[in-house]
Structure 1
Amino acid sequence: MIAQNLPVLLIVVPLIAAPLCVLIGNRKLVYLLALAVACAVFAMSVGLMAEVVRSGPIHYNIGNWAPPYGIEYVVDGLSGFVLLFVSAIGAVVLLYAPPSVEAEIPASKHYLFYATYLLCLTGLLGICITGDLFNVFVFLEISSLSSYALISLGRTRRAPLAALQYLIMGTVGATFILIGIGLIYQMTGTLNMADIAQRLPVGLQTRTGLVAFAFLTIGLCIKMAVFPLHTWLPGAYTYAPSVVTCFIAATATKVSVYTFIRIVFGIISPQFAFVELPLAKGLMMMAIVGIFAASLAAIYQQDVKRILAFSSIAQVGYMLLGISISNEAGLSAGIVHMFNHAIIKGGLFMVVGCFTLRLGSSQLSDWRGAGRTMPWTAFAWTVGGLGLIGVPVTAGFVSKWMLLTAVIDSGAWPVGILMLLSSLLALLYIWRVVETLYFNEPTEIAGQATEPPLRMLIPTYLVVGSTLVFGVWTVYSAGLAQFAAIGLLGGTP
């Protein structure tokens, strides 16, 4: 009975646990509840993905109302893969969280933090599992509103300002998405994604269809932080509490990329988007410009969080590049880079949280010489940085190699050359931090620093170490990504 209801339990359990955290109020009990829920959600995601691989897509009708009249939850190769790594990151970050939360968030707000964290996790999971287009918007807003609240908990006065900027940009993006959904409903009379895909081709060539697709694309580009619609992201990542940045940097933009893939390949159709419309060229151009502009900006930042924030904007460009190729190889590369970037960037932000706990700052100048007194933490940065650059035997190399191969096979070899050059830019901003840690005399604070608690260091190494694991063992990363891509393109996995 429980196994049959896993799709809805995946959403209901954290959704109910969030207000329970507020009612309980005791921060220790609330933490244990949140951690138990996050681990349970991860276990459910593993079970769902295993069932999809074994038996094919899962369809769950809420209240036994058959679609298109009822709301349907769908777990297929793509949604199962994203559910898997989002829930995994959600659980691991909570294992890591307590010391960072104690240091950066007032004790009176701890129970509110865990409640809001679970709401954000619920929204992200809901976006992935729902088969209803309006529910995508609802869950997107749940995750966004909770993200604004989490970011505003930062200890500096700039945190609420960063949350406000994110709120303004996020509201613009959400409005565009809602208008696009409304126009599609006007044309089709349904909100079920599979049903829309059947009915939409009749009206896709109309002005209404084009405008609807344009609104959805622009709205999701804001949510994905695609250059030049990225202005909300650097501030949000920089001034949020470290544990919040670890979670949203690893998950939020990836789920938005998932939504874009789902709409283009599951509703609109790649034939219309990439053949009849010049979306492929537009995405490829935005991706290349974004990769170079954001990477150059990262080189000149003085705050390590801000360096990684601009790096994230560049990495979204790689995902879009894979999508723009729109064949199995390109789509597989884009999907696996979502996963690889999630673990690499999540791990690097966890390292930043460790340094921030001991040094009291994420400013690069305050990290001078810290590699001598915090060698394990500094080594974790080095491993994660190699993954971000794309050095062989790291997960970053796997997705970049797949993407490079797909680009060259598609005949766009100049784009392949630009990809290789962009990796050199990543080397520059990662090396700046390595040089500061290892080749400078320690500051007074860094000279007295010690390693962070094991309850932070172990989860950090769990995530950073997975960068090496999935750089060699790709069955559960590149393999599942290819499985998802084949399913999206209508093939038989």
Structure 2
Amino acid sequence: MILETVLTSAPDWLRAHAAVLVVVFPLVAAPLLCMLPGGRLPWVLTILTTALSFLCALVVLATIQSSPVGVISYPLGNWPPPIGIEFRLDALNSIVLLIVTGTGLLASIFGWSTISAELRSEKLGMFFGTFLLCFSGLLGVTATADAFNLFVFLEISSLATYALVAMGAKRDRRALPAAFNYLIMGTLGASFFVIGVGFLYAATGTLNMADMATQLPALTGNRAVQVGFGFIVVGLGLKAAMWPLHQWLPGAYSYSPSFVTMFLSATATKVALYALIRFLFTVFQPDYAFEQASFVWIFAPLGIAAMLICSFQACFQTDVRRILAYSSVAQVGYMILGVSLATASGVAAGLLHMFNHALMKGALFMAVAGICLTYSRSHIRDFAGAGRSAPWTMTAFAIAGLSLIGVPLTAGFISKVQLGSALFESGWWWAVLLMVFSSFLAVFYIGRILQAVFFMPPADPRKLPKEAPVLLLVPLWILALANIYFGVAADFPVSLAREGAVAALGVEAFR
């Protein structure tokens, strides 16, 4: 109903060009903000820009759902594909657009409280401009239908992200080596990806992903195609923090500014995983022999390894940010495991967990940011007694933590049930047991934090954490309540995930 209202009330020019304006608005605003002095103006313009992109994402989603073909094709410069670059949007990438733009808007609202405390005032214009550059790059990766154009947007977002992570050096000098590590690993990932695209271009003579998909069935025995597939999987797997290619993530999440950590945890790995799904199921086909082998011998084992190993690592961390960082890699393992089934229900479960994980981690890292405003650090002992001195902040943290565990009546429970059902359908009952065990490990590492928050006295009674500012509490509670709402009334995200799986696999109905 809301989407229909958005579509009918949107002006004609917005409905006609929303597919490209969702990227253009932040891409144009980014250099303008970099030239502004410090103060609140860059922050206000960032909120306005992300709100416009979020509106465009809603219009795109409404247009796709009301269209009989379910696809928006937007050729750039009036050059028809496959000759020209095309933005092509369907149910698969519309859900990712919604995640990125919605998270970007909420992050922008809460951003002032933390960034004004963690950065010098004269750096704010540069910071928010760099953020919008990262934001537009992620949206471009999601919207484009051109393989090389995807690489360009991937690099735009990555280069901006390296700078954003490094800006955490004012709070913690370890942000600089974390940014350098991220730079090295990210550059390797991008290099692998573009080499893989080069192999596919050599075999097919096209960069348009839909055009590639029509030519690849006749080239499955071509060594260039097979090698290209391998390079692309490694490159995008590194960007998605797929175990064991995740080594950049704990440092980047632990030492970057709180604003950056919150935004990246909810979006960056999701966009890279979307790109991987797009290549696995749209460009290539699951019935290719080499791709079937990758599902069984690469994606499924690595997804399970991430679930177990990174959950164990989270149990032994003492910094809350690092606990949540390793947890993020474990949750990516859940998504990868769903994708590895190569079924409509499996891919839908992976997409649903992608959506719900953005709600969980966005809320968790926002709440951590509230404690960091007091202590400028995030050790578990800093959270002792915070449930009494910052009850609104910590209650929201507890809700998101329970959703991460998968407690009933939360969004995390719904996506884990969907994934478990998909595993049972494929006869992978043993994987369900491992998934349940991983969830018990989440009970331990989230429980450690909640024990300190609600049942331990403060380590330093003279310096208690304060309640987070209203600008932080409002988006925090929007995400916390969303974790409850979508755990009770899950029709919207479940339908989005199923439509995305249908768009990826071309499956007409779920069996």
**What TM-score range do you get, normalising by the shorter chain?**
over 0.9
Query: Which residue is 1:18 aligned to?
Result: 30
Maintained 8 Å contact 2:35/2:126: no
> Are positions 1:88 and 2:102 aligned together?
yes
Counterpart for residue 239 of structure 2: 223
Whether 1:454 and 2:431 are equivalent positions in the alignment is no
Q: Does 1:110 align with 2:124?
A: yes
Any idea what the Cα deviations from partners look like across 1:113-146, whole Å, max 9, x if unmatched? 1001100110000011001000110111111111
Measured after TM superposition, the shift of residue 492 of structure 1 is: 4.0
5 Å-filtered alignment, 1:290-309, equals 290-309=306-325
CA distance in 1, matches of 2:211, 2:127: 38
Structure 2 counterpart SS, 1:73: strand
Give 2:61's aligned residue: 49
Shifted more, 127-136 versus 21-30: the winner is 21-30
Q: Does 1:126 align with 2:126?
A: no
1:186 corresponding residue in structure 2: 202
Q: 2:384·2:452 contact (CA, 8 Å) conserved in 1?
A: yes
Counterpart amino acid of 2:226? L
**Alignment correspondent of 2:43:** 31
The DSSP-based 3-state class of the residue aligned with 1:326 is: coil
Asked if 1:376 is matched to 2:388, the reply is: no
Matches within 5 A, 1:459-470: 459-470=475-486
Q: Within the alignment, does 1:78 sit opposite 2:92 as a pair?
A: yes
Unmatched runs of 5 consecutive residues or more in structure 2: 1-12
The residue aligned with 1:434 is 450
Task: Determine the structure 2 residue equivalent to 1:241.
Answer: 257
Query: What corresponds to 2:357 in structure 1?
Result: 341
TM-score, normalised relative to structure 2: 0.95
Q: 2:80 aligns with which of 49, 66, 79?
A: 66
For 2:294 and 2:256, locate their aligned partners in 1 and report how far apart those are by CA, in whole Å. 37
Separation of aligned partners in 1, 2:296 and 2:72: 31
Distance (Å, rounded) in 2 between the aligned partners of 1:74 and 1:275: 24
Inter-partner Cα distance in structure 1 for 2:287 and 2:462: 56
Change (3 A) 1:257 1:136: same
Contact 2:114-2:369 within 8 A present in 1 as well: yes
Query: Which of 272, 289, 304 is the matching residue for 2:305?
Result: 289
Task: Quote the residue 1:170 is aligned against.
Answer: 186
- How many angstroms does 1:400 deviate by? 0.4
Query: What residue number does 2:114 align with?
Result: 100
Contact 2:76–2:84 (CA<8 Å) still a contact in 1?
A: yes
Find out whether 1:255 has 2:257 as its counterpart.
no
Which residue identity lines up with residue 154 of structure 2 in the other structure? L
Q: Which amino acid aligns with 1:137?
A: F
Please list the CA deviations of residues 152-190 of structure 1 after superposition, one character each: whole Å capped at 9, or x if unmatched: 000211101100000000011110001000010001111
Cα displacement (A) at 1:207 = 1.3
Bigger Cα displacement from structure 2, 8-17 vs 247-256? 8-17
What pairs up with 1:410-421 in 2 under 5 angstroms?
410-421=426-437
RMSD over aligned Cα atoms: 1.3
Query: Counterpart amino acid of 1:7?
Result: A
Q: Which moved more, 1:440-449 or 1:263-272?
A: 440-449
Could you tell me whether the CA contact under 8 Å between 1:373 and 1:447 is conserved in 2? Answer: no
In structure 2, the residue matched to 1:362 is 378
8 Å contact kept, 2:226–2:290: no
Instruction: From the superposition, tell whether residues 53 and 44 of structure 1 become closer, same or farther in structure 2 (CA, over 3 Å).
Output: same
What letter is aligned with 1:76?
D
Q: 1:39 to 1:273 in 2, by over 3 A?
A: farther
Pairs aligned (count): 493
Deviation of 1:487 after TM superposition, in Å, equals: 1.9
Question: Structure 2 CA distance, aligned partners of 1:439 and 1:25?
Answer: 45
- Find out whether 1:322 has 2:334 as its counterpart: no
Please state whether the residue corresponding to 1:74 is helix, strand or coil.
strand
* Mapped contact 2:344–2:507 kept (Cα < 8 A): no
Aligned residues with identical type, % of pairs? 44
Q: How far did 1:226 drift? A: 1.2
3-state DSSP of counterpart to 2:138: helix
Shift of the 187–274 alpha-carbon distance from structure 1 to 2, 3 Å rule, reads closer
Q: Which runs of 5+ in 1 are unaligned?
A: none
Q: What TM-score do the two structures reach when normalised by structure 1? A: 0.98
Cα distance in 2, alignment partners of residues 323 and 173 from structure 1? 20
Structure 1 residues 278 and 255: CA distance shift in structure 2, 3 A: closer
- In 1, Cα distance between equivalents of 2:93 and 2:419: 21
